[in-house]
Chain A
Protein backbone atom coordinates (compact mmCIF):
# COMPACT_ATOMS: atom_id res chain seq x y z
CA UNK A 1 0.00 0.00 0.00
CA UNK A 2 1.08 3.55 -0.70
CA UNK A 3 2.56 5.33 2.31
CA UNK A 4 3.04 9.03 2.78
CA UNK A 5 4.52 11.03 5.64
CA UNK A 6 3.58 14.71 5.69
CA UNK A 7 5.59 17.09 7.87
CA UNK A 8 6.09 14.49 10.59
CA UNK A 9 7.74 15.85 13.74
CA UNK A 10 8.41 13.78 16.82
CA UNK A 11 9.62 14.98 20.21
CA UNK A 12 10.66 12.46 22.85
CA UNK A 13 11.32 13.77 26.37
CA UNK A 14 11.61 17.30 24.99
CA UNK A 15 14.19 16.38 22.37
CA UNK A 16 13.38 16.78 18.71
CA UNK A 17 13.98 13.38 17.13
CA UNK A 18 12.27 13.92 13.77
CA UNK A 19 12.04 17.34 12.13
CA UNK A 20 9.23 17.70 9.58
CA UNK A 21 9.82 14.58 7.60
CA UNK A 22 8.22 14.27 4.18
CA UNK A 23 8.39 10.90 2.47
CA UNK A 24 6.33 9.20 -0.18
CA UNK A 25 6.59 5.46 -0.79
CA UNK A 26 4.83 3.86 -3.75
CA UNK A 27 2.87 0.65 -3.54
CA UNK A 28 5.18 -2.38 -3.57
CA UNK A 29 8.34 -0.30 -3.28
CA UNK A 30 11.35 -1.33 -1.17
CA UNK A 31 12.77 1.70 0.64
CA UNK A 32 15.79 1.88 2.92
CA UNK A 33 16.05 4.41 5.73
CA UNK A 34 19.79 4.82 6.03
CA UNK A 35 21.71 6.70 8.66
CA UNK A 36 24.04 6.48 11.65
CA UNK A 37 22.65 5.29 14.96
CA UNK A 38 20.67 7.95 16.77
CA UNK A 39 19.61 9.76 13.58
CA UNK A 40 15.93 8.99 14.20
CA UNK A 41 15.36 6.23 11.66
CA UNK A 42 13.99 3.71 14.18
CA UNK A 43 11.73 6.38 15.66
CA UNK A 44 10.38 6.99 12.18
CA UNK A 45 9.49 3.30 11.85
CA UNK A 46 7.71 3.28 15.19
CA UNK A 47 5.82 6.44 14.28
CA UNK A 48 4.63 4.84 11.03
CA UNK A 49 3.49 1.77 13.00
CA UNK A 50 1.64 3.95 15.50
CA UNK A 51 3.67 2.94 18.57
CA UNK A 52 4.99 6.49 18.87
CA UNK A 53 2.60 9.40 18.31
CA UNK A 54 3.88 12.25 16.15
CA UNK A 55 3.67 15.76 17.58
CA UNK A 56 2.94 17.28 14.20
CA UNK A 57 2.10 16.17 10.69
CA UNK A 58 0.18 13.20 9.41
CA UNK A 59 0.61 9.72 8.00
CA UNK A 60 -1.36 8.54 4.98
CA UNK A 61 -1.86 4.87 4.18
CA UNK A 62 -3.26 4.20 0.71
CA UNK A 63 -4.24 7.86 0.51
CA UNK A 64 -6.26 7.76 3.74
CA UNK A 65 -5.37 9.53 6.97
CA UNK A 66 -4.00 6.92 9.41
CA UNK A 67 -3.27 9.18 12.40
CA UNK A 68 -6.30 8.05 14.38
CA UNK A 69 -5.88 4.33 13.62
CA UNK A 70 -4.35 2.56 16.66
CA UNK A 71 -1.22 0.44 16.19
CA UNK A 72 -3.05 -2.88 16.29
CA UNK A 73 -5.40 -1.89 13.46
CA UNK A 74 -2.87 -0.23 11.13
CA UNK A 75 -1.51 -3.44 9.61
CA UNK A 76 1.95 -1.89 9.61
CA UNK A 77 4.04 -4.71 11.02
CA UNK A 78 7.51 -4.23 12.49
CA UNK A 79 10.15 -6.97 12.55
CA UNK A 80 12.53 -5.91 15.30
CA UNK A 81 16.27 -6.44 15.46
CA UNK A 82 15.89 -8.75 18.49
CA UNK A 83 13.10 -10.75 16.76
CA UNK A 84 10.83 -10.66 19.86
CA UNK A 85 9.43 -14.15 19.47
CA UNK A 86 7.02 -15.02 22.26
CA UNK A 87 8.94 -17.41 24.53
CA UNK A 88 5.91 -19.24 25.90
CA UNK A 89 4.69 -20.32 22.47
CA UNK A 90 5.93 -22.81 19.87
CA UNK A 91 7.07 -21.73 16.40
CA UNK A 92 3.64 -22.44 14.91
CA UNK A 93 1.86 -20.58 17.71
CA UNK A 94 4.12 -17.58 17.20
CA UNK A 95 3.43 -17.48 13.48
CA UNK A 96 -0.32 -17.93 13.89
CA UNK A 97 -0.60 -15.35 16.68
CA UNK A 98 -1.66 -12.55 14.31
CA UNK A 99 -4.18 -14.91 12.67
CA UNK A 100 -5.58 -15.84 16.08
CA UNK A 101 -6.02 -12.13 16.79
CA UNK A 102 -8.04 -11.85 13.55
CA UNK A 103 -10.27 -14.66 14.78
CA UNK A 104 -9.09 -17.37 12.40
CA UNK A 105 -9.94 -20.91 13.55
CA UNK A 106 -7.32 -23.34 14.83
CA UNK A 107 -7.03 -25.62 11.81
CA UNK A 108 -6.71 -22.66 9.42
CA UNK A 109 -4.09 -21.13 11.75
CA UNK A 110 -2.00 -24.25 11.69
CA UNK A 111 -2.31 -24.69 7.94
CA UNK A 112 -1.21 -21.11 7.35
CA UNK A 113 1.69 -21.45 9.81
CA UNK A 114 2.95 -24.55 8.00
CA UNK A 115 2.60 -22.83 4.63
CA UNK A 116 4.54 -19.78 5.82
CA UNK A 117 7.25 -21.93 7.41
CA UNK A 118 7.82 -23.47 4.01
CA UNK A 119 8.12 -19.99 2.49
CA UNK A 120 10.89 -19.08 4.94
CA UNK A 121 12.59 -22.45 4.37
CA UNK A 122 11.89 -23.88 7.82
CA UNK A 123 9.74 -26.85 6.86
CA UNK A 124 9.00 -29.13 9.81
CA UNK A 125 9.83 -26.61 12.53
CA UNK A 126 6.24 -25.96 13.63
CA UNK A 127 6.42 -27.72 17.00
CA UNK A 128 9.85 -26.43 18.00
CA UNK A 129 10.26 -24.20 20.99
CA UNK A 130 11.82 -20.78 20.60
CA UNK A 131 14.88 -21.60 22.72
CA UNK A 132 15.75 -24.43 20.32
CA UNK A 133 16.27 -22.04 17.39
CA UNK A 134 19.45 -20.40 16.09
CA UNK A 135 19.61 -16.68 15.32
CA UNK A 136 18.92 -17.17 11.62
CA UNK A 137 15.99 -19.48 12.32
CA UNK A 138 14.51 -16.99 14.78
CA UNK A 139 14.77 -14.33 12.10
CA UNK A 140 12.88 -16.53 9.66
CA UNK A 141 10.15 -17.25 12.20
CA UNK A 142 9.85 -13.52 12.93
CA UNK A 143 9.50 -12.87 9.19
CA UNK A 144 6.88 -15.59 8.77
CA UNK A 145 4.95 -14.18 11.72
CA UNK A 146 5.05 -10.70 10.20
CA UNK A 147 3.76 -12.05 6.88
CA UNK A 148 0.96 -13.88 8.70
CA UNK A 149 -0.32 -10.51 9.88
CA UNK A 150 -0.94 -9.61 6.21
CA UNK A 151 0.84 -6.27 6.48
CA UNK A 152 0.05 -3.41 4.14
CA UNK A 153 3.46 -1.97 5.00
CA UNK A 154 6.30 -4.13 6.29
CA UNK A 155 8.78 -2.37 8.56
CA UNK A 156 12.17 -3.99 9.14
CA UNK A 157 14.20 -2.52 12.00
CA UNK A 158 17.87 -3.45 11.41
CA UNK A 159 16.80 -7.06 10.94
CA UNK A 160 20.17 -8.43 9.83
CA UNK A 161 22.56 -6.68 12.18
CA UNK A 162 22.53 -9.45 14.79
CA UNK A 163 23.32 -12.18 12.25
CA UNK A 164 26.79 -13.17 11.11
CA UNK A 165 27.93 -12.08 7.68
CA UNK A 166 27.38 -15.34 5.77
CA UNK A 167 23.86 -15.64 7.09
CA UNK A 168 23.13 -12.01 6.32
CA UNK A 169 23.46 -12.53 2.57
CA UNK A 170 21.02 -15.45 2.60
CA UNK A 171 18.53 -13.52 4.70
CA UNK A 172 18.72 -10.49 2.42
CA UNK A 173 17.96 -12.67 -0.58
CA UNK A 174 15.08 -14.34 1.25
CA UNK A 175 13.58 -11.00 2.28
CA UNK A 176 13.88 -9.64 -1.26
CA UNK A 177 12.26 -12.69 -2.84
CA UNK A 178 9.39 -12.66 -0.31
CA UNK A 179 8.94 -8.92 -0.82
CA UNK A 180 8.69 -9.47 -4.56
CA UNK A 181 6.31 -12.41 -4.20
CA UNK A 182 3.91 -10.67 -1.80
CA UNK A 183 4.46 -7.20 -3.35
CA UNK A 184 4.48 -5.62 0.10
CA UNK A 185 5.53 -2.00 0.50
CA UNK A 186 8.65 -2.37 2.66
CA UNK A 187 10.77 0.01 4.71
CA UNK A 188 14.15 -1.22 5.90
CA UNK A 189 15.99 0.62 8.63
CA UNK A 190 19.73 0.10 8.35
CA UNK A 191 23.06 1.74 9.05
CA UNK A 192 24.80 -0.46 6.47
CA UNK A 193 25.21 1.44 3.20
CA UNK A 194 25.92 -1.74 1.24
CA UNK A 195 22.66 -3.28 2.45
CA UNK A 196 20.75 -0.16 1.43
CA UNK A 197 22.47 0.05 -1.98
CA UNK A 198 21.93 -3.60 -2.91
CA UNK A 199 18.40 -4.12 -1.61
CA UNK A 200 16.31 -1.04 -2.18
CA UNK A 201 14.52 0.76 -4.99
CA UNK A 202 15.12 4.04 -3.22
CA UNK A 203 17.17 5.19 -0.25
CA UNK A 204 16.25 7.92 2.21
CA UNK A 205 19.40 9.16 3.90
CA UNK A 206 18.60 10.50 7.36
CA UNK A 207 20.80 12.74 9.45
CA UNK A 208 19.81 14.46 12.70
CA UNK A 209 16.10 13.80 12.25
CA UNK A 210 15.97 15.10 8.69
CA UNK A 211 15.99 13.46 5.29
CA UNK A 212 19.09 14.76 3.50
CA UNK A 213 18.44 12.94 0.24
CA UNK A 214 15.80 10.55 -1.10
CA UNK A 215 16.86 8.93 -4.34
CA UNK A 216 17.65 5.72 -6.18
CA UNK A 217 20.77 3.84 -4.99
CA UNK A 218 22.69 4.78 -8.13
CA UNK A 219 21.84 8.46 -7.93
CA UNK A 220 22.48 8.79 -4.21
CA UNK A 221 25.87 7.12 -4.64
CA UNK A 222 26.92 9.04 -7.76
CA UNK A 223 25.23 12.36 -7.11
CA UNK A 224 25.15 12.99 -3.35
CA UNK A 225 23.62 16.38 -2.53
CA UNK A 226 26.10 17.18 0.21
CA UNK A 227 29.27 15.94 1.89
CA UNK A 228 27.29 14.18 4.67
CA UNK A 229 25.64 11.86 2.17
CA UNK A 230 28.79 11.46 0.10
CA UNK A 231 30.96 10.54 3.08
CA UNK A 232 28.47 7.98 4.36
CA UNK A 233 28.71 5.90 1.19
CA UNK A 234 32.44 6.16 0.50
CA UNK A 235 34.94 8.62 1.86
CA UNK A 236 37.53 10.36 -0.25
CA UNK A 237 39.47 13.56 -0.57
CA UNK A 238 37.74 16.90 -1.24
CA UNK A 239 39.30 19.45 -3.54
CA UNK A 240 37.84 22.96 -3.50
CA UNK A 241 37.35 24.79 -6.77
CA UNK A 242 35.00 26.64 -9.10
CA UNK A 243 33.12 25.61 -12.16
CA UNK A 244 33.18 28.25 -14.82
CA UNK A 245 31.81 27.54 -18.32
CA UNK A 246 31.73 23.79 -17.79
CA UNK A 247 35.29 23.64 -16.49
CA UNK A 248 36.25 22.74 -12.93
CA UNK A 249 39.20 24.87 -11.94
CA UNK A 250 41.24 24.28 -8.80
CA UNK A 251 44.76 24.94 -7.66
CA UNK A 252 45.67 21.34 -8.47
CA UNK A 253 44.03 20.52 -11.76
CA UNK A 254 41.46 21.60 -14.32
CA UNK A 255 38.79 19.28 -15.66
CA UNK A 256 35.71 19.29 -17.89
CA UNK A 257 32.52 19.24 -15.82
CA UNK A 258 28.97 19.68 -17.05
CA UNK A 259 27.56 21.74 -14.17
CA UNK A 260 26.19 25.20 -13.48
CA UNK A 261 28.74 27.87 -12.59
CA UNK A 262 29.59 28.20 -8.92
CA UNK A 263 31.75 27.03 -6.04
CA UNK A 264 32.13 23.25 -5.86
CA UNK A 265 33.92 20.58 -3.92
CA UNK A 266 35.31 17.77 -6.04
CA UNK A 267 35.21 14.43 -4.22
CA UNK A 268 37.96 12.02 -5.22
CA UNK A 269 37.11 8.52 -3.97
CA UNK A 270 39.83 5.84 -4.00
CA UNK A 271 38.30 4.03 -6.98
CA UNK A 272 38.60 7.22 -9.08
CA UNK A 273 42.38 7.29 -8.66
CA UNK A 274 44.35 5.30 -11.23
CA UNK A 275 48.08 4.86 -10.68
CA UNK A 276 50.91 3.93 -12.99
CA UNK A 277 54.45 3.22 -11.91
CA UNK A 278 56.77 5.95 -13.18
CA UNK A 279 60.39 6.75 -12.42
CA UNK A 280 59.65 10.44 -12.27
CA UNK A 281 56.13 10.19 -10.84
CA UNK A 282 54.93 12.99 -8.62
CA UNK A 283 53.22 10.81 -5.98
CA UNK A 284 54.97 8.57 -3.48
CA UNK A 285 53.38 5.35 -2.15
CA UNK A 286 53.37 5.70 1.64
CA UNK A 287 51.51 2.54 2.48
CA UNK A 288 50.11 -0.51 0.72
CA UNK A 289 47.29 -2.30 2.55
CA UNK A 290 46.04 -5.73 1.56
CA UNK A 291 42.20 -5.87 1.54
CA UNK A 292 41.50 -9.31 0.09
CA UNK A 293 40.23 -8.64 -3.42
CA UNK A 294 42.32 -5.51 -3.80
CA UNK A 295 44.96 -3.23 -2.34
CA UNK A 296 44.55 0.20 -0.85
CA UNK A 297 47.42 2.54 -1.66
CA UNK A 298 48.08 5.67 0.38
CA UNK A 299 49.69 8.27 -1.83
CA UNK A 300 51.26 11.60 -1.09
CA UNK A 301 52.37 14.47 -3.27
CA UNK A 302 54.89 16.43 -1.25
CA UNK A 303 55.00 19.50 -3.56
CA UNK A 304 51.28 20.13 -3.59
CA UNK A 305 50.59 18.81 -0.06
CA UNK A 306 47.93 16.43 -1.35
CA UNK A 307 47.20 12.99 0.09
CA UNK A 308 45.17 10.56 -1.98
CA UNK A 309 44.03 6.98 -1.68
CA UNK A 310 43.70 4.50 -4.49
CA UNK A 311 42.18 1.06 -4.75
CA UNK A 312 43.86 -1.24 -7.25
CA UNK A 313 43.06 -4.84 -8.13
CA UNK A 314 45.26 -7.58 -6.80
CA UNK A 315 48.33 -8.54 -8.84
CA UNK A 316 50.37 -5.38 -8.90
CA UNK A 317 54.06 -4.59 -8.90
CA UNK A 318 53.86 -1.31 -7.00
CA UNK A 319 55.61 -1.40 -3.63
CA UNK A 320 55.82 0.92 -0.66
CA UNK A 321 58.15 3.83 -1.42
CA UNK A 322 57.67 3.66 -5.21
CA UNK A 323 56.98 6.77 -7.23
CA UNK A 324 53.81 6.75 -9.33
CA UNK A 325 51.84 8.86 -11.76
CA UNK A 326 48.21 9.54 -10.91
CA UNK A 327 45.34 9.74 -13.36
CA UNK A 328 41.79 10.65 -12.31
CA UNK A 329 38.82 8.74 -13.72
CA UNK A 330 36.47 11.59 -14.71
CA UNK A 331 33.40 9.35 -14.60
CA UNK A 332 33.96 8.64 -10.93
CA UNK A 333 34.59 12.19 -9.76
CA UNK A 334 31.76 13.78 -7.80
CA UNK A 335 31.03 17.52 -7.77
CA UNK A 336 29.14 18.79 -4.77
CA UNK A 337 27.94 22.40 -4.82
CA UNK A 338 28.76 24.48 -1.76
Chain B
Protein backbone atom coordinates (compact mmCIF):
# COMPACT_ATOMS: atom_id res chain seq x y z
CA UNK B 1 0.00 0.00 0.00
CA UNK B 2 2.67 2.47 1.08
CA UNK B 3 4.92 1.32 -1.78
CA UNK B 4 2.20 2.07 -4.26
CA UNK B 5 1.63 5.50 -2.78
CA UNK B 6 5.25 6.58 -3.09
CA UNK B 7 5.43 5.23 -6.62
CA UNK B 8 2.34 7.07 -7.78
CA UNK B 9 3.67 10.25 -6.19
CA UNK B 10 6.87 10.37 -8.21
CA UNK B 11 5.36 11.54 -11.52
CA UNK B 12 3.19 13.98 -9.61
CA UNK B 13 6.21 15.40 -7.79
CA UNK B 14 8.18 15.67 -11.03
CA UNK B 15 5.30 17.54 -12.58
CA UNK B 16 5.09 19.92 -9.62
CA UNK B 17 8.84 20.60 -9.79
CA UNK B 18 8.55 21.25 -13.50
CA UNK B 19 5.77 23.77 -12.91
CA UNK B 20 7.73 25.43 -10.10
CA UNK B 21 10.78 25.63 -12.40
CA UNK B 22 8.85 27.25 -15.24
CA UNK B 23 7.59 29.88 -12.82
CA UNK B 24 10.77 30.46 -10.84
CA UNK B 25 13.40 30.34 -13.59
CA UNK B 26 12.17 33.48 -15.39
CA UNK B 27 12.04 35.23 -12.02
CA UNK B 28 15.69 34.37 -11.36
CA UNK B 29 16.60 35.70 -14.80
CA UNK B 30 14.68 38.90 -14.05
CA UNK B 31 16.69 39.37 -10.84
CA UNK B 32 19.94 38.69 -12.72
CA UNK B 33 19.10 41.16 -15.49
CA UNK B 34 18.17 43.84 -12.97
CA UNK B 35 21.74 43.89 -11.64
CA UNK B 36 23.48 43.26 -14.96
CA UNK B 37 25.43 45.91 -16.86
CA UNK B 38 26.92 43.57 -19.51
CA UNK B 39 25.78 40.06 -20.47
CA UNK B 40 27.28 39.28 -23.90
CA UNK B 41 26.46 36.12 -25.85
CA UNK B 42 27.39 33.22 -25.35
CA UNK B 43 28.28 33.67 -21.66
CA UNK B 44 26.20 31.69 -19.18
CA UNK B 45 26.42 34.46 -16.60
CA UNK B 46 26.65 38.26 -16.84
CA UNK B 47 30.21 39.56 -17.10
CA UNK B 48 29.67 42.69 -15.00
CA UNK B 49 27.06 43.91 -12.54
CA UNK B 50 25.79 47.39 -11.63
CA UNK B 51 23.00 49.17 -9.74
CA UNK B 52 22.24 51.45 -12.71
CA UNK B 53 18.77 49.99 -13.35
CA UNK B 54 17.65 50.38 -9.75
CA UNK B 55 19.07 53.90 -9.59
CA UNK B 56 17.19 54.86 -12.76
CA UNK B 57 13.94 53.24 -11.64
CA UNK B 58 13.97 54.77 -8.18
CA UNK B 59 15.24 58.16 -9.35
CA UNK B 60 12.91 61.03 -8.31
CA UNK B 61 12.20 62.04 -11.93
CA UNK B 62 10.95 58.52 -12.75
CA UNK B 63 7.98 59.06 -10.36
CA UNK B 64 7.85 55.35 -9.58
CA UNK B 65 6.12 55.41 -6.21
CA UNK B 66 3.20 57.76 -7.08
CA UNK B 67 2.71 55.87 -10.36
CA UNK B 68 2.79 52.50 -8.59
CA UNK B 69 0.28 53.62 -5.96
CA UNK B 70 -2.15 55.14 -8.46
CA UNK B 71 -1.70 52.12 -10.70
CA UNK B 72 -2.58 49.75 -7.85
CA UNK B 73 -5.56 51.89 -6.84
CA UNK B 74 -6.80 51.95 -10.44
CA UNK B 75 -6.55 48.18 -10.83
CA UNK B 76 -8.09 47.55 -7.40
CA UNK B 77 -11.04 49.74 -8.37
CA UNK B 78 -11.40 47.82 -11.62
CA UNK B 79 -11.12 44.48 -9.76
CA UNK B 80 -13.76 45.46 -7.22
CA UNK B 81 -16.19 46.85 -9.81
CA UNK B 82 -15.60 43.85 -12.03
CA UNK B 83 -16.36 41.43 -9.18
CA UNK B 84 -19.53 43.32 -8.26
CA UNK B 85 -20.85 43.64 -11.81
CA UNK B 86 -19.71 40.08 -12.59
CA UNK B 87 -21.51 38.63 -9.56
CA UNK B 88 -24.71 40.49 -10.38
CA UNK B 89 -24.63 39.65 -14.08
CA UNK B 90 -23.91 36.00 -13.34
CA UNK B 91 -26.88 35.92 -10.95
CA UNK B 92 -29.16 37.41 -13.56
CA UNK B 93 -27.95 34.95 -16.20
CA UNK B 94 -28.31 31.92 -13.93
CA UNK B 95 -31.54 32.63 -12.05
CA UNK B 96 -33.70 34.76 -14.31
CA UNK B 97 -35.17 34.47 -17.77
CA UNK B 98 -35.35 37.68 -19.72
CA UNK B 99 -35.48 38.87 -23.29
CA UNK B 100 -32.07 38.80 -24.98
CA UNK B 101 -30.45 36.48 -22.42
CA UNK B 102 -28.65 34.48 -25.12
CA UNK B 103 -27.32 37.63 -26.75
CA UNK B 104 -25.95 38.95 -23.45
CA UNK B 105 -24.29 35.60 -22.80
CA UNK B 106 -22.56 35.86 -26.17
CA UNK B 107 -21.67 39.54 -25.74
CA UNK B 108 -19.92 38.85 -22.43
CA UNK B 109 -17.33 37.00 -24.50
CA UNK B 110 -17.10 39.60 -27.32
CA UNK B 111 -14.16 41.69 -26.05
CA UNK B 112 -12.03 38.53 -26.04
CA UNK B 113 -13.03 37.56 -29.56
CA UNK B 114 -12.40 40.90 -31.31
CA UNK B 115 -8.66 41.67 -31.76
CA UNK B 116 -7.41 44.10 -29.11
CA UNK B 117 -6.22 46.91 -31.40
CA UNK B 118 -9.39 46.87 -33.49
CA UNK B 119 -11.47 47.03 -30.34
CA UNK B 120 -9.31 49.82 -28.89
CA UNK B 121 -9.53 52.05 -31.98
CA UNK B 122 -13.30 51.65 -32.14
CA UNK B 123 -13.87 52.36 -28.49
CA UNK B 124 -11.52 55.35 -28.65
CA UNK B 125 -13.74 57.05 -31.23
CA UNK B 126 -16.82 56.36 -29.11
CA UNK B 127 -15.12 57.63 -25.96
CA UNK B 128 -14.00 60.85 -27.65
CA UNK B 129 -17.63 61.53 -28.61
CA UNK B 130 -18.74 60.80 -25.05
CA UNK B 131 -15.82 62.89 -23.74
CA UNK B 132 -14.57 59.89 -21.80
CA UNK B 133 -11.23 59.83 -23.61
CA UNK B 134 -8.23 61.05 -21.59
CA UNK B 135 -10.13 60.55 -18.32
CA UNK B 136 -9.69 58.17 -15.40
CA UNK B 137 -13.32 57.06 -15.67
CA UNK B 138 -12.76 56.21 -19.34
CA UNK B 139 -9.75 54.05 -18.49
CA UNK B 140 -11.65 52.29 -15.71
CA UNK B 141 -14.55 51.56 -18.07
CA UNK B 142 -12.33 50.25 -20.85
CA UNK B 143 -10.46 48.00 -18.41
CA UNK B 144 -13.79 46.75 -17.09
CA UNK B 145 -14.90 45.77 -20.58
CA UNK B 146 -11.83 43.56 -20.76
CA UNK B 147 -12.07 42.06 -17.27
CA UNK B 148 -15.82 41.41 -17.18
CA UNK B 149 -15.81 38.30 -19.41
CA UNK B 150 -13.53 36.58 -16.89
CA UNK B 151 -15.47 37.78 -13.85
CA UNK B 152 -18.84 36.86 -15.32
CA UNK B 153 -17.75 33.39 -16.37
CA UNK B 154 -16.08 32.58 -13.07
CA UNK B 155 -19.10 33.78 -11.11
CA UNK B 156 -21.61 32.14 -13.43
CA UNK B 157 -20.25 28.64 -12.87
CA UNK B 158 -20.05 29.10 -9.12
CA UNK B 159 -23.50 30.72 -8.88
CA UNK B 160 -25.16 27.89 -10.75
CA UNK B 161 -23.34 25.23 -8.71
CA UNK B 162 -24.42 26.85 -5.43
CA UNK B 163 -27.97 27.35 -6.65
CA UNK B 164 -30.74 29.06 -4.76
CA UNK B 165 -31.52 26.36 -2.21
CA UNK B 166 -29.59 27.90 0.67
CA UNK B 167 -31.08 31.31 -0.04
CA UNK B 168 -34.63 29.92 -0.01
CA UNK B 169 -33.90 28.23 3.30
CA UNK B 170 -32.69 31.55 4.70
CA UNK B 171 -35.87 33.33 3.49
CA UNK B 172 -38.18 30.92 5.27
CA UNK B 173 -36.06 31.25 8.41
CA UNK B 174 -36.81 34.97 8.44
CA UNK B 175 -33.93 36.54 6.49
CA UNK B 176 -34.83 39.25 3.98
CA UNK B 177 -33.47 38.75 0.44
CA UNK B 178 -30.68 41.27 1.13
CA UNK B 179 -29.68 39.65 4.43
CA UNK B 180 -29.79 36.17 2.87
CA UNK B 181 -27.42 37.38 0.19
CA UNK B 182 -25.02 38.98 2.66
CA UNK B 183 -25.00 36.25 5.31
CA UNK B 184 -25.48 33.13 3.20
CA UNK B 185 -24.78 33.56 -0.51
CA UNK B 186 -21.83 35.93 -0.38
CA UNK B 187 -19.73 33.77 1.98
CA UNK B 188 -20.44 30.77 -0.27
CA UNK B 189 -19.39 32.83 -3.32
CA UNK B 190 -16.23 34.16 -1.63
CA UNK B 191 -13.74 31.85 -3.42
CA UNK B 192 -15.19 32.91 -6.77
CA UNK B 193 -15.15 36.58 -5.84
CA UNK B 194 -11.47 36.23 -4.94
CA UNK B 195 -10.61 34.45 -8.18
CA UNK B 196 -12.55 36.96 -10.22
CA UNK B 197 -10.88 39.92 -8.46
CA UNK B 198 -7.42 38.43 -8.99
CA UNK B 199 -8.15 37.86 -12.66
CA UNK B 200 -9.54 41.36 -13.13
CA UNK B 201 -6.66 42.92 -11.22
CA UNK B 202 -3.95 41.28 -13.27
CA UNK B 203 -5.79 41.99 -16.55
CA UNK B 204 -6.15 45.66 -15.65
CA UNK B 205 -2.66 46.00 -14.18
CA UNK B 206 -0.99 44.67 -17.33
CA UNK B 207 -3.00 46.74 -19.86
CA UNK B 208 -0.59 48.92 -21.80
CA UNK B 209 -2.07 49.82 -25.18
CA UNK B 210 -5.63 50.43 -23.95
CA UNK B 211 -4.47 52.55 -21.01
CA UNK B 212 -2.19 54.60 -23.23
CA UNK B 213 -4.79 55.15 -25.94
CA UNK B 214 -7.86 55.88 -23.81
CA UNK B 215 -5.87 57.62 -21.08
CA UNK B 216 -4.17 59.75 -23.74
CA UNK B 217 -0.90 59.60 -21.79
CA UNK B 218 -2.50 61.44 -18.88
CA UNK B 219 -3.29 58.29 -16.92
CA UNK B 220 0.06 56.76 -16.04
CA UNK B 221 0.34 53.21 -14.78
CA UNK B 222 3.25 50.90 -14.06
CA UNK B 223 2.67 49.26 -17.43
CA UNK B 224 2.84 52.54 -19.37
CA UNK B 225 6.08 53.25 -17.50
CA UNK B 226 7.58 49.79 -18.07
CA UNK B 227 6.67 48.81 -21.62
CA UNK B 228 8.69 51.57 -23.42
CA UNK B 229 11.89 50.32 -21.77
CA UNK B 230 11.16 46.75 -22.83
CA UNK B 231 10.28 47.91 -26.35
CA UNK B 232 13.47 50.01 -26.48
CA UNK B 233 15.52 46.96 -25.52
CA UNK B 234 16.83 48.22 -22.18
CA UNK B 235 16.65 44.88 -20.49
CA UNK B 236 18.05 45.96 -17.13
CA UNK B 237 15.49 48.69 -16.53
CA UNK B 238 12.74 46.54 -18.06
CA UNK B 239 13.62 43.73 -15.65
CA UNK B 240 13.69 46.07 -12.68
CA UNK B 241 10.18 47.26 -13.51
CA UNK B 242 9.01 43.71 -14.16
CA UNK B 243 10.28 42.66 -10.71
CA UNK B 244 8.37 45.51 -9.09
CA UNK B 245 5.33 44.47 -11.14
CA UNK B 246 5.52 40.87 -9.93
CA UNK B 247 6.22 41.69 -6.29
CA UNK B 248 3.49 44.34 -5.99
CA UNK B 249 0.94 42.06 -7.65
CA UNK B 250 1.86 39.18 -5.35
CA UNK B 251 1.49 41.44 -2.30
CA UNK B 252 -1.91 42.65 -3.49
CA UNK B 253 -3.07 39.06 -4.08
CA UNK B 254 -2.07 38.04 -0.57
CA UNK B 255 -3.83 41.06 0.93
CA UNK B 256 -7.00 40.38 -1.11
CA UNK B 257 -6.99 36.74 -0.03
CA UNK B 258 -6.77 37.71 3.64
CA UNK B 259 -9.40 40.43 3.42
CA UNK B 260 -11.92 38.24 1.60
CA UNK B 261 -11.42 35.30 3.95
CA UNK B 262 -11.85 37.68 6.86
CA UNK B 263 -15.05 39.13 5.42
CA UNK B 264 -16.65 35.85 4.49
CA UNK B 265 -15.95 34.18 7.81
CA UNK B 266 -16.72 37.28 9.80
CA UNK B 267 -19.91 35.69 11.13
CA UNK B 268 -17.90 32.99 12.77
CA UNK B 269 -15.56 35.25 14.69
CA UNK B 270 -17.94 37.99 15.66
CA UNK B 271 -21.03 35.97 16.40
CA UNK B 272 -20.38 32.94 18.56
Q: Which residues does A use to contact B, with CB under 8 Å?
A: 49-51, 70-78, 80, 82, 84, 86-90, 92-93, 96-98, 100-102, 106, 109-110, 113, 126, 145-146, 149, 155
Contacts and interface: CB of A to CB of B under 8 A. Distances in A.
Interface residues of B, number: 24
A45 to B, nearest CB: 10
B188 A87 contact: yes
Considering residues A76, A97, A109, which has the most beta carbons from chain B within 10 angstroms of its beta carbon?
A97
Contacts of B264: 88
A285 B235 CA distance: 97
B187 A88 contact: yes
Contacts, number: 83
Interface in B221-272: 264-265, 267-268, 271-272
Given A51-B171, A70-B176, A113-B272, 15 more contacts: A50-B172, A51-B172, A71-B168, A72-B171, A72-B176, A72-B180, A78-B172, A80-B165, A84-B165, A84-B166, A90-B268, A93-B272, A96-B272, A149-B172, A149-B174
B173 A101 contact: yes
Nearest to B180: A72
Given A82-B165, A88-B187, A92-B272, A71 B265 contact: no
Nearest to A148: B173
Nearest to A78: B172
A77 B265 CA distance: 26
A71 B268 contact: no
A51 B168 contact: yes
B159 to A, nearest CB: 16
Nearest to B176: A72
A97 B168 CA distance: 14
B272 A106 contact: yes
B173 A145 contact: yes
Given A72-B177, A88-B187, A88-B188, A106 B271 contact: yes
A109 B272 CA distance: 9
A111 B77 CA distance: 43
Interface of B: 165-166, 168-177, 179-180, 183-184, 187-188, 264-265, 267-268, 271-272
Contacts of B171: 50-51, 70-72
A306 to B, nearest CB: 51
A100 B172 contact: no
A100 to B, nearest CB: 7
Contacts of B183: 97
B184 A72 contact: no
B272 A90 contact: yes
A298 B44 CA distance: 92
Most interface-central of A49, A75, A100, A106 (chain B CB within 10 A)? A100
Q: Which of B168, B174, B180, B264 has the most CB of A within 10 A?
A: B174
A155 B171 CA distance: 14
Q: Which 3 A-B pairs have the closest CB atoms?
A: A84-B169, A71-B171, A98-B173
A93 B177 contact: no
A110 B272 CA distance: 7
Nearest to A113: B272
A179 to B, nearest CB: 18
B246 to A, nearest CB: 33
Contact of B175 (A96, A97, A113): A97
Contacts of B172: 49-51, 71-72, 74, 76-78, 149, 155
A296 B137 CA distance: 81
B169 A98 contact: no
Given A101-B174, A145-B173, A149-B174, A86 B272 contact: no
